[in-house]
Structure 1
């Protein structure tokens, strides 16, 4: 059964608002704050996402879908940058999920096929050694995403770290 157009708009508004609310207020953000930011009633939030964890998981799924779509139009270097951006953007969502079972490494593994294509392109362009394997790249992506979620991660550290990772692939 297809959702009505207003339900689709509400769902998108809720996800956008939730991302902003969690980024601003941290893991203790409430669904009431999300509803207010989205311009919908709290009941509308609960119709789409019965629990706060359901909302948080939906944010992460949307984030991963954005990353998967990005692989169609990027290079391995720009993809590393995008993964780090998403990790920073969703940091509070990951913290809020806490022990609910979401593991960023497991979540990134769902992108393996996409990353394999990027790695093959990087190898063909001479940007990655022929011996580099996708599991190595996935481990580096996971590590970079984890590092980006730490308070000590600065713009300078990000630039230097990604440069070291990419040089190591050559």
Structure 2
């Protein structure tokens, strides 16, 4: 793969930043021309980097998922792994709920963003945080990474359809704690 020129890299970064802002507000409904205008580039520049709106959307979502994974990896050796995991879980819900693009991507096909590229890194980093929290005895032992993915998607739905219902996410977090009413 040939290396991008500096101006091409800057334009791509501008397009991604503008798309993240636009998708966060309007989801997939935003026209590509609006993204180009917001980025300060022509529509042709957008199409040179991203052949379709869906490709741009996927790039934005995967970039955000990569950021989630990087943050989780940074927490992997933190003290108090149980509380670190639970705080991180809530932070992911809070940050993702503010971004309609992330919510849309995670809701589609049962969370396809978890399955592509950075999704593997995020799942792995999240699973490591979960394992450490379970080993510390803070988080119940009968859940796994797939359960967490489902809980994240569910919590995002709660946040999206009942904005400001943070107490419902706290109920889920309380259910994650060891001794939180484990199902037989």
Gaps of 5+ in 1: none
Q: C-alpha root-mean-square deviation of aligned residues, in Å?
A: 2.5
C-alpha distance 118-16 of structure 1, shift in aligned 2 (>3 A)? same
* TM-score, scaled to structure 1: 0.80
Gaps of 5+ in 2: 76-83, 178-184
CA-to-partner distance for each residue in 1:91-122, whole Å, 9 max, x for gaps? 15655x7xxx9435232353322221010121
- Of residues 102, 114, 119, the one that matches 1:108 is 114
* TM-score, scaled to structure 2: 0.74
- Is the contact between residue 87 and residue 149 of structure 1 (CA under 8 Å) also seen in structure 2? no
- Is the contact between residue 96 and residue 102 of structure 2 (CA under 8 Å) also seen in structure 1? no
The residue correspondences of 1:8-47 to structure 2 (distance < 5 A) are 8-25=9-26, 27-47=28-48
CA-to-partner distance for each residue in 1:12-48, whole Å, 9 max, x for gaps? 1111111212334554322121112111122111111
Following the alignment from structure 1 to structure 2, what is the Cα–Cα distance between the partners of residues 87 and 57? 15
Following the alignment from structure 2 to structure 1, what is the Cα–Cα distance between the partners of residues 12 and 108? 21
Aligned to 2:175: 168
- Is the contact between residue 77 and residue 166 of structure 1 (CA under 8 Å) also seen in structure 2? yes
- Of residues 61, 78, 89, the one that matches 2:98 is 89
